[in-house]
Amino acid sequence: MWLNEELAKNPQFSSELITPDSVCFDIHMLFKDSPEKFWDLISTKYAASPISDISAYETKITRLKTYLTAEMSVLDIGCATGTQCGDIANNVKQVTGIDISSKLLAVAEERMAERNLDNINFIQTSIFDESFQAGSFDVVMAFFVLHFFEDIDVVFKRVHELLKPAGIFISETACLGNKNKLFGSLLRFAGHLGFLPKINLLTTQQLERSLKRTGFHIVEKTRFSNHSDAEFTLIAKKNSS
Ligand SMILES: C[S@@+](CC[C@H](N)C(=O)[O-])C[C@H]1O[C@@H](n2cnc3c(N)ncnc32)[C@H](O)[C@@H]1O
């Protein structure tokens, strides 16, 4: 009961997504070194799961649009089915959505075609892809993905490199380090064993410190949802050197 309640707060690990018929704990299915298998496996159910607080989500997207202009290029890290990419596409020149899951990206492609959006490029790759050139994005977004990286400083340094001068970095992260420590430790342990992707128990304070260390200053820190477990959206700007 307790575990189910905790899982419900972290939809990507929800027991409804990870059902016995969808998960076969065959040794070849362990996710330690291939987290994309996890996301491919739960892709159908993930794509069908609704946004938990739609009103807060819409308020957030409206707010994010105040940072966007028609000539901007945006990178969305861990874009999954491309929801955020699609919701901002008409406000910018170009959106690049990257993810490790080919199945989630296939859903993203379908949804963008349904919405008649033609300025989004979905790529199965990581932010460390060398074909991304330094200083090529005005805005980088990362929603509920940073906790899957082991070294957050390395990620922020790469985001800093990819951004143009005064570029904007928008992130929202499952900060399991600020929550139920026992539950977080269980998830992390499951990640170490390979039953889930590896998870970093981050805190909001840790993210803020890391942003400052890596050359950003925070321009906005907002919780858009009133839910007790809602995360902060951090909006940071690249420092002028
Ligand atoms: C919890 S989902 C969040 C999806 C979306 N950003 C949102 O907020 O609705 C996490 C996504 O990050 C992707 N992901 C996990 N690790 C990644 C990595 N190292 N690089 C890029 N994407 C990653 C997963 O495939 C999944 O689509």
Q: Would you state the pLDDT for residue 149?
A: 96
Q: Which atom of ligand 1 is nearest to the CA of 83?
A: 9
CA of 78 to the centre of ligand 1 (A): 3
Q: Would you state the pLDDT for residue 13?
A: 55
DSSP bridge pairs for 98: 77, 123
Residue nearest to atom 27 of ligand 1 (CA): 80
Q: Would you state the pLDDT for residue 5?
A: 46
Q: Would you state the pLDDT for residue 32?
A: 77
Residue nearest to atom 24 of ligand 1 (CA): 78
pLDDT tens for each residue of the chain, 241 residues long? 344 444 444 555 554 555 444 444 444 457 878 899 999 999 999 999 999 999 999 999 999 999 999 999 999 999 999 999 999 999 999 999 999 999 999 999 999 999 999 999 999 999 999 999 999 999 999 999 999 999 999 999 999 999 999 999 999 999 988 887 788 888 888 888 888 898 999 999 999 999 999 999 999 999 999 998 899 999 999 998 7
Please give the C-alpha separations between residue 73 and each of 137, 197, 230, in angstroms, as whole numbers.
Answer: 5, 30, 28
Q: Other CB atoms closer than 10 Å to residue 217's CB: what's the count?
A: 11
DSSP assignment of 166-193 = EEEEEEE---GGGS-HHHHHHHHHHHHH
CA of 147 to the centre of ligand 1 (A): 10
Q: Is 80 in the pocket of ligand 1 (CB under 6 A)?
A: yes
Q: Would you state the pLDDT for residue 12?
A: 55
Residues 202, 175: Cα–Cα separation, whole Å? 5
Q: Which tokens hold the place of 181?
A: 């420590």
CA of 3 to the centre of ligand 1 (A): 23
Residue/partner pairs of 214-222 with CB below 8 Å, 24 or more apart: 214/153, 214/156, 214/157, 214/159, 214/160, 215/157, 215/160, 215/239, 215/241, 216/156, 216/160, 216/169, 219/168, 222/60, 222/63
What is the longest distance spanned by two Cα atoms in the chain? 53
Q: Are residues 86 and 112 in contact, defined by beta-carbon separation less than 8 angstroms?
A: yes
Helix/strand/coil percent split, the chain, to 5? 40, 20, 40
| 2-238 CATH | 3.40.50.150
Q: Is 148 in the pocket of ligand 1 (CB under 6 A)?
A: yes
Q: Are residues 56 and 230 in contact, defined by beta-carbon separation less than 8 angstroms?
A: yes
With the most atoms of ligand 1 within 8 angstroms of its CB, the residue from 51, 100, 158 to mutate is 100
Q: Is 39 in the pocket of ligand 1 (CB under 6 A)?
A: yes
Residues 122, 76: Cα–Cα separation, whole Å? 9
Q: Is 35 in the pocket of ligand 1 (CB under 6 A)?
A: yes
Q: Is 57 in the pocket of ligand 1 (CB under 6 A)?
A: no
CA of 144 to the centre of ligand 1 (A): 7
- Domain positions in the chain are 2-238
Residues 103, 163: Cα–Cα separation, whole Å? 28
Q: Are residues 175 and 203 in contact, defined by beta-carbon separation less than 8 angstroms?
A: yes
Q: pTM for the complete prediction?
A: 0.90
